Amino acid sequence: DDFWAEACTKNYCDAQNDATEKTGMVMSIPFLIGALISTPLGYLSDTYGHRATMATVSPILIIAAHFQLAFASSQGPIFPLILQGVAFAVYCAIIWRCITLVVK
């Protein structure tokens, strides 16, 4: 039947495609932020130190992001995912340098 194929099913499939694209963009926020600021954070930690402080702050930021995702449903996921991306970048910038210091 042309009515179902052209009207009802098409609207449903278009809405599903739009939702998939939007979800993909939102879920890429932590990885994009991690990729963009991990290298500058690594340079700053090599220049100024404070690796132990930054290694302690990273899990605290992750916990804060997860609490916001769990309990603050009215604001949406954008800010907690940004926070998660910052925590991910801090952790990635710090952990590899700390491993080389332990091996020496």
- Residues 45-93 pLDDT 10s: 889 988 889 999 999 999 999 999 888 777 788 999 999 999 999 999 9
Query: Cα dist. 104→12, 50, 91, 98 in Å?
Result: 59, 19, 20, 10
What are the domain boundaries of the chain? 2-103
Q: What is the rounded CA–CA span in Å between residue 86 and residue 91?
A: 9
Q: What is the pLDDT of residue 98?
A: 83
pTM recorded for the entire structure: 0.77
- Residues 6-50 pLDDT 10s: 777 877 888 888 888 888 888 999 999 999 999 999 999 889 988
Half-sphere exposure of 29 (CA within 13 A, CB side): 15
